[in-house]
Amino acid sequence: MTAEAPHGAEAPSELVQLLTPEGERVEHPDYDIDLTPEEIRGLYRDLVLVRRVDLEAVALQRQGELGIWASLLGQEAAQIGSGRALTEADMAFPTYREHGVAWCRGVDPVNLLGMFRGVNHGGWDPAEHNFHLYTIVIGSQTLHAVGYAMGVQRDSAEAATIVYFGDGATSQGDVNESFIWASVFNAPVVFFCQNNQWAISEPLEKQSRIPLYRRASGFGFPGVRVDGNDVFACLAVTRKALADARSGQGPMLIEAFTYRMGAHTTADDPTRYRVAGELEAWKLKDPIERVRAYMFKNQIADQDFFDAIDAEADELGGDVRKRCLALPDPEPLAIFDHVYAEPHGLMDSERAEFATYLEGFEG
């Protein structure tokens, strides 16, 4: 189905949608998906639990337990749908907001919180989860992803790479350079742009005069816009793009048209640059409520199921909070560990200088 997009500042002309905001299942000629009731219940569980972790993290930051937090509120469907499309062999390169994808890749949420608490540099092994460490520098992970994809290509591996970025990152040189390299070398990479309408305080119209997915054609590969609040559509579109990449058909740009319901980070105040009516309009397109409505209408789940998921979410939130607060502070000199693989003279002298500084507080 080609439908009117969820309404934000400007509604796009078309997008792939399989589940309407009212919870009605619709068809699309190019993308479809056949999900079992068990799979649908699993997607709903993912959406709810990931949102609960996110809300707990926001609360922890407001209470001074995290230095900062980048909320995914409103973007759960884009992340869970694309994350569940990945095979075990595929590699994902995130920004700093892909908590839902991390969940799909089996990363402990407390490891995410540890980084924002300042007690680790990521806390998980990218090779173990096929999920790279968070990237704070805007857009640089796209080059990393393309390079990895070119390696996969040369290894003749049955795998693809996916890389996440936001609408604001499309103005970065690194992202455009990665498009060129991916196109020229036909790299097996999927560019997944979560267009949440705001690059911090800059609206989408300050980033592009055309829909973002159409930029791909200028680099020589296809692009598609998907309803980023529709977990079914995000799963279907990403699954096909990854399959095409693995089969040698090259890169693809997916623009997940969604909305950042919270602040850019907890250091941001979105009320200074966007109106309340815009937020209210997007609440009607909530990614969780549309799945819940669909499940009720089609008798895929009853109230006992929803109550059990809510209870599990509360238990998870409590567990995440408890374990986050119990994270030990690292030794101050540990900041110098693992910066270089081999001994480094400048680093050694800086370590010694910092150790001397710390000794001044002793006694």
DSSP state letters, 238-269: HHHHHHHHHTT---EEEEEE----S-SSTT--
Is 264 an active-site residue? yes
Q: 91-93 and 161-166 as β-strands: parallel, antiparallel, unpaired?
A: parallel
Structure tokens at 174: 């690194």
Q: Which residues, at least 6 apart from 337, have a Cβ–Cβ distance to it below 8 Å?
A: none
Indicate if the alpha-carbon torsion angle 14, 15, 20, 21 is positive or negative: negative
- Residue 123 is predicted with a pLDDT of 84
Share of the chain above pLDDT 70, in %: 96
Do 59 and 96 belong together in one domain? yes
Residue 92 has pLDDT above 90, yes or no: yes
Domain assignment of residue 14, yes or no: no
Do 64 and 189 belong together in one domain? yes
Q: Which residues, at least 6 apart from 193, have a Cβ–Cβ distance to it below 8 Å?
A: 164, 165, 166, 167, 169, 170, 212, 213, 253, 254, 255, 256
Is the CB of residue 228 less than 8 Å from the CB of residue 197?
Answer: no
Domain assignment of residue 9, yes or no: no
- Residue 362 is predicted with a pLDDT of 81
Structure tokens at 183: 């196109």
Residue 7 has pLDDT above 50, yes or no: no
Average pLDDT of the chain to the nearest whole number = 94
Calculate the CA 127 to chain-centre distance: 18
Strands of the chain (E only): list them. Answer: 91-93, 161-166, 189-195, 198-199, 202-203, 223-227, 252-257
Residue 211 has pLDDT above 60, yes or no: yes
Residue 2 has pLDDT above 80, yes or no: no
Residue 135 has pLDDT above 70, yes or no: yes
| 132 or 122, greater pLDDT | 132
Domain assignment of residue 205, yes or no: yes
- Residue 72 is predicted with a pLDDT of 97
Domain assignment of residue 319, yes or no: yes
Do 323 and 355 belong together in one domain? no
| 112 or 3, greater pLDDT | 112
Mean pLDDT of 244-249: 98
Do 150 and 203 belong together in one domain? yes
Which residue is catalytic, options 28, 225, 260, 292?
260
Query: Which residues sit opposite 166 in a β-bridge?
Result: 194
Per-residue pLDDT band for 13 (boundaries 50, 70, 90) equals: low
Domain assignment of residue 1, yes or no: no
Is 273 an active-site residue? yes
Do 73 and 34 belong together in one domain? yes
Do 128 and 65 belong together in one domain? yes
Which residue is catalytic, options 264, 290, 292, 321?
264
Domain that holds residue 183: 19-330
Domain assignment of residue 11, yes or no: no
Is the CB of residue 130 less than 8 Å from the CB of residue 145?
Answer: no
- Residue 299 is predicted with a pLDDT of 96
Element at 78 (helix H, strand E): helix 76-83
Residue 8 has pLDDT above 70, yes or no: no
Which residue is catalytic, options 273, 340, 344, 357?
273
Closest CA to 82 of 213, 255, 222: 255
Do 154 and 256 belong together in one domain? yes
Mean pLDDT of 124-129: 96
Per-residue pLDDT band for 9 (boundaries 50, 70, 90) equals: very low
Domain assignment of residue 74, yes or no: yes
Q: What is the pLDDT of residues 278-322, one digit of tens each?
A: 989 999 999 999 999 999 999 999 999 999 999 999 999 999 999
Do 236 and 190 belong together in one domain? yes
- Residue 222 is predicted with a pLDDT of 97
CA distances 291 to 20, 280, 299, Å, are: 9, 19, 12
- Residue 10 is predicted with a pLDDT of 44
Calculate the CA 234 to chain-centre distance: 12
Closest CA to 224 of 208, 210, 241: 241
Is 294 an active-site residue? no
Domain assignment of residue 5, yes or no: no
Per mean pLDDT, which of 171-185, 204-218, 270-284 is the most reliable?
171-185
